[in-house]
Amino acid sequence: MEEGKNPTHDNKAPVSRERLYEEVWAEPMTKVALKFNVSSSFMARVCTWLNVPRPERGYWAKLAVGKATRRPPLPEAEPGDELEWNRYGQPRRAKLPLPKPPRKRKSRLRDRSELPERHPLLQGAQQYFDEARETSSGYLRPSKRLMVDVIASKPTFSRALDVANELFLLFEERGHTVAFERHGLFLRRNTVDEREKGGRDRNYSDLWRPSRNTIVTIGTVLIGLTIFEMSENVEVKYQDGKYVRVAELPVRKPRRYESYSWTSMHDLPSGRLCVQAYSPYQRADGNGSGGKRKRVISPASFRQSSKN
């Protein structure tokens, strides 16, 4: 037998969370890692991936003199969490439960004073929007993608963040958590058609999109949220790499030998915001009538509609 290998352990077989939990609390991490032919630091990372609590530094020395703390219980796996460590394949994950009908009892209401002035999802978002580049159509594309699902132009993004903040806090007041999609759920995100009157399907859109959905959880039902600025079809002229409204161009007297330039119709940000709520489940029909709901809404109307 090769040195460092344990014949009682099949290093190719998946290791469940429950087994790993018992292993790391039975003997020091260095010995557990030796059984699986990995380093103790790697073994510790595996515990983190699987949400398996492990002994703190100095635990075994305290245990030898009878002063060790009690080991914490193994927490239940959340939807999307890995259920095993599988070094040669994809691990099993906890399944996302099917949505259940809402209970008759109401969620615990929270007073606005219990909540922060700015929702946690929006912390630091202002800076990334300030530093974002503009597309030729005038929408911002932040470099960071793990951010709240808000799409807007430079003149409108501050108001869009305020609208998102008011909406998220209203959900939180009613006990509905707003957060990023949990890792491993593999939810879908509805495409955004910012055109006010719609139109034919496009092969390409340069609108920014986040790496994870913004999700509000109502009971056991997940609902995706996107706040975006709608566009309007206007007459434009292409200048310096971007489209400019003809109505906003300075009036100049035509020159005798001025080169000819043409105008066209293009979709540009309108300043009007829209909230899109959609089903993020993979089997949901995002193109049908039941897949999503869009509504143009103002910040003041959030408070009024929430009372109804």
Strand partners, 180: 214
Residue 3 lies inside a defined structural domain of this protein: no
Last-in-domain residue among 85, 102, 125: 85
Shared domain for 224 and 264, answered yes or no, is: yes
Question: What is the pLDDT at residue 230?
Answer: 94
User: What is the widest separation between alpha-carbon atoms in the chain?
Assistant: 97
The three-state secondary structure class of 23 is: helix
Q: Which of 58, 71, 57 is nearest to 26 (CA)?
A: 71
Decide if pLDDT at 123 tops 80.
yes
Decide if pLDDT at 133 tops 50.
yes
DSSP 8-state assignment for residue 297: -
Shared domain for 51 and 185, answered yes or no, is: no
Shared domain for 292 and 164, answered yes or no, is: yes
Residue-number span of the structural domain to which 39 is assigned: 15-85
Shared domain for 218 and 157, answered yes or no, is: yes
Question: What is the pLDDT at residue 2?
Answer: 43
Total domains in the chain come to: 2
Shared domain for 165 and 202, answered yes or no, is: yes
Q: How confident is the model at residue 98 (pLDDT cuts 50, 70, 90)?
A: low
Decide if pLDDT at 216 tops 80.
yes
Shared domain for 116 and 264, answered yes or no, is: yes
The residue ranking higher by pLDDT, 251 or 178, is 178
Q: How confident is the model at residue 7 (pLDDT cuts 50, 70, 90)?
A: very low
Q: How confident is the model at residue 150 (pLDDT cuts 50, 70, 90)?
A: very high
Pairing of strands 264-278, 177-180: unpaired
Shared domain for 159 and 222, answered yes or no, is: yes
Q: Whole-model pTM above 0.75?
A: no
Decide if pLDDT at 228 tops 90.
yes
Q: What percent of the chain has pLDDT over 70?
A: 80
Shared domain for 70 and 168, answered yes or no, is: no
Cα–Cα distance measured from residue 304 to residue 146, given in angstroms and rounded to the nearest whole number: 31
Shared domain for 31 and 156, answered yes or no, is: no
Question: What is the pLDDT at residue 253?
Answer: 62
Residue 241 lies inside a defined structural domain of this protein: yes
Average per-residue pLDDT for the chain: 81
Question: What is the pLDDT at residue 285?
Answer: 62
Cα–Cα distance measured from residue 55 to residue 57, given in angstroms and rounded to the nearest whole number: 7
CB atoms within 10 A of CB 119: 21
Question: What is the pLDDT at residue 266?
Answer: 85
Instruction: Tokens for 98, please give them.
Output: 């099917």
Question: What is the pLDDT at residue 289?
Answer: 42
The residue ranking higher by pLDDT, 129 or 99, is 129
The residue ranking higher by pLDDT, 171 or 79, is 171
List, for residues 255-303, the tens digit of each pLDDT value: 655 555 678 888 889 999 999 999 998 776 654 444 455 555 554 554 4
DSSP 8-state assignment for residue 50: T
> What residues contact residue 140 under an 8 Å CB cut-off, 6+ apart?
129, 132, 133, 134, 151, 152, 153, 154, 157, 208
Q: Give the number of C-alpha atoms closer than 13 A to the C-alpha of residue 190, restricted to the C-beta side.
A: 29
Decide if pLDDT at 156 tops 50.
yes
The residue ranking higher by pLDDT, 108 or 66, is 66
The Cα angle at residue 242 between residues 238 and 243, in degrees rounded to 5? 50
Shared domain for 55 and 129, answered yes or no, is: no
Q: What percent of the chain has pLDDT over 90?
A: 36
Across the range 190-212, mean pLDDT stands at 84
DSSP 8-state assignment for residue 211: S
